[in-house]
């Protein structure tokens, strides 16, 4: 077997991918959540340090890494489909190496490794090991590392940003999850929760700002349970509200977002910290999952409908202009028509600006899979999901119509999808705003008055200061 991993000494240290250099090339394909996008950037950083460079052309790649998601069955089915494609590709290019990373690697382990198209399987906590796995694979055998860690946060690795716009970037502040929602595979594939050292987070935010970035999104499965304890002085701790403040103080021109908040853990101090700093975006993603107390309890969400609504009321009281978005699951185990109606009614009561909506998908070995029958028929799940989607479209439109005539500060991310005469960016509330380009460029802040809207987009014109 060709061994292209020997004697690799070139090390590239950079915020952006290093391209156009000699040496082996990796193509990275990412599925799933923002955390996975950021993990792929960590993977690229590790590989660049070992002489690899990124290619955007799969046909040029010596190595393909697929960073996978297991959250629903259809996410996994897509990956199996890709593996069949790689199998064909390898008939023409026998030296092509294929590695599976991420959540599905962690969940399926050897089952994936035994696929003819797969050479390397690496779980979310083993990315530092990739150069070693590649070397060993080069020496002749398939490689796997799916050990989960209680400490790994990749704190010292500066992710190499693969985004196109160079304006907004993700920063992981913690890894893993301890919540054990009964439907969810995440705790099994990403392990126990651990918080990253705050200094390294602030350093990363400063580095991004110095490189022209104007927006960071702090990522965690449940950012509100961020809790860092100084190992040298355990009385020194940092919670999420304090971390948010530290990052907001990096520069008033650096916008700060965060995701995801858990309604049971979101403390008032987070809301008040947001209110204190205009550069902390006026947007909270607060997954409700269901509006029915029976379902919430069966899901082990640890809040009631009433508690959720009072948290929303507090947000609206302290930050009236804050947008609220959510995740909803339709057709969880035993969900009755009344439970479903409770979801529709909580959606109306909150008036969500946007929602991610899913049909329940049973995940092997979760508590729900082990204890509750997946008994809502597929037709009913899909009919309920459609009702939820239709209602959300009405709500998004109604929320956007409330913005007509208002002025928002928009951070420009690029041209609009339809025209090079128009730019597009997002408001602090995370709504996409399109407006005539004028002399503006990516990374500018522009004040835009909203003149029209759809359920997905605001349109407007620039106003003078």
> Which residues contact ligand SF4 by CB under 6 A?
32-33, 35-36, 69-71, 102-103, 185-186, 189-190
Closer to ligand SF4 by Cβ: residue 56 or 73: 73
CB closest to ligand 5AD, residue no: 327
Closer to ligand SF4 by Cβ: residue 36 or 261: 36
Applying the rule CB under 6 A, the residues between 107 and 166 that interact with ligand 5AD are none
**Contacting residue, 8, 72, 136, 294, with ligand 5AD by CB under 6 A:** 72
User: 169 touches which of ligand 5AD, ligand SF4, none (CB within 5 to 8 A by kind)?
Assistant: none
Cβ 83 to ligand 5AD shortest distance, Å: 22
Residue 184 within binding range of ligand 5AD, rule CB under 6 A = yes
Cβ 326 to ligand 5AD shortest distance, Å: 8
**Contacting residue, 289, 323, 396, 400, with ligand 5AD by CB under 6 A:** 289
Closer to ligand SF4 by Cβ: residue 186 or 288: 186
Residue 185's alpha-carbon distances to 47, 180, 195, 342, in angstroms, are 28, 9, 20, 25
Residue 34 within binding range of ligand 5AD, rule CB under 6 A = no
Cβ 184 to ligand 5AD shortest distance, Å: 4
Task: Find the part of the chain contacting ligand 5AD (CB under 6 A) among 3-11, 74-82, 301-309, 359-367.
Answer: 359-367
Closer to ligand 5AD by Cβ: residue 303 or 435: 303
**Contacting residue, 360, 376, 424, 450, with ligand 5AD by CB under 6 A:** 360
Closer to ligand SF4 by Cβ: residue 160 or 185: 185
Three-state DSSP at 457 gives: strand
Closer to ligand 5AD by Cβ: residue 159 or 287: 287
Would you say how long the chain is, in residues? 465
User: 361 touches which of ligand SF4, ligand 5AD, none (CB within 5 to 8 A by kind)?
Assistant: ligand 5AD
Radius of gyration of the chain, Cα coordinates, nearest whole angstrom: 23
Cβ 366 to ligand SF4 shortest distance, Å: 12
CB closest to ligand SF4, residue no: 32
User: 247 touches which of ligand 5AD, ligand SF4, none (CB within 5 to 8 A by kind)?
Assistant: none
User: 32 touches which of ligand SF4, ligand 5AD, none (CB within 5 to 8 A by kind)?
Assistant: ligand SF4
Beta carbons of 270 and 245 less than 8 angstroms apart:
no
User: 363 touches which of ligand 5AD, ligand SF4, none (CB within 5 to 8 A by kind)?
Assistant: ligand 5AD
Residue 327 within binding range of ligand 5AD, rule CB under 6 A = yes
Closer to ligand SF4 by Cβ: residue 35 or 385: 35
Q: How far apart are CA 388 and CA 377, in angstroms?
A: 17
User: 329 touches which of ligand 5AD, ligand SF4, none (CB within 5 to 8 A by kind)?
Assistant: ligand 5AD
Q: Binding-site residue total for ligand 5AD (CB under 6 A)? A: 12
| Two tokens, residue 326 | 């959510």
Applying the rule CB under 6 A, the residues between 361 and 380 that interact with ligand 5AD are 361, 363
CA-nearest of 356, 354, 344, 367 to 290 is: 344
Number of Cα atoms under 13 Å in the Cβ half of residue 191: 18
Three state DSSP letters for the chain: CCCCCCCCCCCCCCCCCCCCCCCCEEEEEECCCHHHHHHHHHHHHHHHCCCCEECCCHHHCCEEEEEECCCCHHHHHHHHHHHHHHHHHHHHCCCCEEEEEEHHHHHHCHHHHCCCCCCEEECCCCHHHHHHHHHHHHCCCCEEECCCCCCCCCCCCCCCCCCCCCCEEEEECEECCCCCCCCCCHHHHHCCCEECCHHHHHHHHHHHHHCCCCEEEEECCCHHHCEEECCCCCCCEEEHHHHHHHHHCCCCCCEEEEECCCCCCCCHHHHHHHHHCCCECCEEECCCECCCHHHHHHCCCCCCHHHHHHHHHHHHHHCCCCEEEEEEEECCCCCCHHHHHHHHHHHHHHCCCEEEEEECCCCCCCHHHHHCCCCCCHHHHHHHHHHHHHHHHHHHHHHHHCCCCCEEEEEEEEECCCCCCEEEEECCCCCEEEEECCCCCCCCEEEEEEEEECCCEEEEEECCC
Cβ 381 to ligand 5AD shortest distance, Å: 10
Q: Is 286 left (phi over 0), alpha (psi -120 to 50) or beta?
A: beta
Cβ 78 to ligand 5AD shortest distance, Å: 15
Task: Find the part of the chain contacting ligand 5AD (CB under 6 A) among 89-97, 141-149, 191-199, 357-365.
Answer: 357-365
User: 35 touches which of ligand 5AD, ligand SF4, none (CB within 5 to 8 A by kind)?
Assistant: ligand SF4
Closer to ligand SF4 by Cβ: residue 104 or 453: 104
Contact footprint for ligand 5AD (CB under 6 A): 71-72, 183-184, 287, 289, 327, 329, 358, 360-361, 363
């Amino acid at each position: 077997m060709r061994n292209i991993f020997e004697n690799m000494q070139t090390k590239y240290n950079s915020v952006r991918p290093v391209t156009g250099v000699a040496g082996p090339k990796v193509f990275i394909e990412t599925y799933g959540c923002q955390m996975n996008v950021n993990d792929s950037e960590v993977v690229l950083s590790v590989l660049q340090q070992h002489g690899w460079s990124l290619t955007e052309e799969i046909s040029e790649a010596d190595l393909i890494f697929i960073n996978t998601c297991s959250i629903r069955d259809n996410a996994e089915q897509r990956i199996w489909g890709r593996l069949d494609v790689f199998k064909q590709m390898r008939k023409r290019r026998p030296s092509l190496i294929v590695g599976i990373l991420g959540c599905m690697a962690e969940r399926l382990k050897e089952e994936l490794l035994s696929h003819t198209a797969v050479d390397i399987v690496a779980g979310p906590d083993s990315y530092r090991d990739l150069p070693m796995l590649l070397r060993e694979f080069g020496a002749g055998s398939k490689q796997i590392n799916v050990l989960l860690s209680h400490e790994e946060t990749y704190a010292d690795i500066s992710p190499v940003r693969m985004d196109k716009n160079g304006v907004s970037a993700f920063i992981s502040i913690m890894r893993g999850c301890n919540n054990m929602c009964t439907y969810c595979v995440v705790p099994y594939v990403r392990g126990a929760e651990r918080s990253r050292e705050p200094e390294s987070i602030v350093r990363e935010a400063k580095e991004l700002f110095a490189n022209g970035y104007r927006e960071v999104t702090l990522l965690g499965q449940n950012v509100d349970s961020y809790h860092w304890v100084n190992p040298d002085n355990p009385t020194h701790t940092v919670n999420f509200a304090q971390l948010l403040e530290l990052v907001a103080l990096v520069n008033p021109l650096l916008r700060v977002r965060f995701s995801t908040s858990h309604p049971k853990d979101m403390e008032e101090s987070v809301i008040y910290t947001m209110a204190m700093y205009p550069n902390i975006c006026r947007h909270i993603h607060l997954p409700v999952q269901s509006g029915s107390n029976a379902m919430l309890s069966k899901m082990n969400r640890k809040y009631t409908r009433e508690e959720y609504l009072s948290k929303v009321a507090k947000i609206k009281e302290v930050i009236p202009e804050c947008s609220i978005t959510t995740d909803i699951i339709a057709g969880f185990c035993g969900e009755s028509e009344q439970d479903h109606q409770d979801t529709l009614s909580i959606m109306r009561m909150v008036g969500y600006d946007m929602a991610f909506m899913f049909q329940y998908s049973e995940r092997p070995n979760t508590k729900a899979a082990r204890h509750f029958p997946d008994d809502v028929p597929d037709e009913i799940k899909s009919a309920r999901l459609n009702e939820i989607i239709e209602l959300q479209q009405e709500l998004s439109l109604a929320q956007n119509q409330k913005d007509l005539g208002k002025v928002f500060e928009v951070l420009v991310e690029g041209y609009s999808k339809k025209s090079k005469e128009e730019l597009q960016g997002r408001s602090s509330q995370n709504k996409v705003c399109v407006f005539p380009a004028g002399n503006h460029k990516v990374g500018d802040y522009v004040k835009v008055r909203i003149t029209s809207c759809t359920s997905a987009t605001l349109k407007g014109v620039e106003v003078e200061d």
